[in-house]
Amino acid sequence: MERTIYNPQKARLETVHIEFIDANTTWFNESRNDHDIYAITDFDGGLVISVCGYDYPVWVYGVTRSSIGYNRNRAFKLRKSYLQGKNRPKTITAPGWQGPLVARRPPAGPCHPGSAD
């Protein structure tokens, strides 16, 4: 399926074709709050971290589910560090760069029953 994700390495949204299946995704069914991680997915040599609420999933290069031990807390900290700019390449923080894109989307997924996702 085509999905819009946030790529903090490029500081932009991207539309990618990604499949969320049991072979590449770990689901966290106890997610209820807007910033809870509800899925981590191995994708194209990186990790897509999906949260409840309005935020787009975040794609982090060079990390896999196994490298963070399939751990929700490690995924949360990794996502937070990339969104705060601690792990971004130096080229992203060039003069004139205004910080991370704050992108929102309508609620979707298992955290919001009755939604389209």
- Span 10-28, pLDDT tens digits: 989 999 999 999 999 999 9
- Cα–Cα distance, 103 to 61 (Å, whole number): 19
Structurally, the chain folds into a number of domains equal to 1
Domain that holds residue 59: 2-93
- Token pair listed for 79: 């996502």
Alpha helices in the chain (DSSP H): 72-83
83 falls within a domain: yes
Residue 98 lies in a domain: no
Residue 74 lies in a domain: yes
What 3-state DSSP class applies to 73?
A: helix
Instruction: Report the predicted TM-score, pTM, of the whole model to 2 decimal places.
Output: 0.74
Residue 117 covered by a domain: no
pLDDT, tens only, 37-68: 999 999 999 999 999 888 899 999 999 999 99
